[in-house]
Amino acid sequence: MTVSTHVLDAVAGRPAAGVPVALSVRDAAGSWRAAGDGATDADGRLRFEAETDGAVSRLTFDTGRYFAESGLAGFYPEVVITFSTATADDGPAGHVHVPLLLSPYSYSTYRGS
């Protein structure tokens, strides 16, 4: 299963470009292994081609860096979203999308399509 994300800056009212994001997968022993990293594009999107194999996965967003580069102070230096791709069988074949709506003092996420 591949993973993508879309980060929207709720304060600026536009996609959050340049947000560093890391994808990790939890192995059978409970340890996290890196599965990919990158930064959101001009439209706030990033797609990982690594296979998560129906595992528990997490996305770590470096929101502190994003806000610092935007000249803002933020309350959350990072946002970590942990999810299970094993339950994602009702979406597009082999893919899960995890959006993040971001502001300096709050964030929300949901299972996207």
Please give the domain boundaries of the chain with CATH numbers for all domains. 2-103 (2.60.40.180)
- Predicted structure pTM score: 0.91
HEC letters along the chain = CEEEEEEEECCCCEECCCCEEEEEEECCCCCEEEEEEEECCCCCEEEECCCCCCCEEEEEECHHHHHHHCCCCCCCCCEEEEEEHHHCCCCCCCEEEEEEEEECCEEEECCEC
pLDDT digits (tens, 9 = 90+) for 19-46: 999 999 999 899 999 999 999 999 999 9
Q: How do beta strands 20-26 and 56-61 pair? A: antiparallel
pLDDT digits (tens, 9 = 90+) for 41-81: 999 999 998 888 778 999 999 999 999 999 999 999 999 99
Q: What pLDDT does residue 106 have?
A: 97
Cβ atoms of residues 19 and 43 within 8 Å = no
Q: Is the dihedral of CA 105, 20, 80, 95 positive or negative?
A: positive
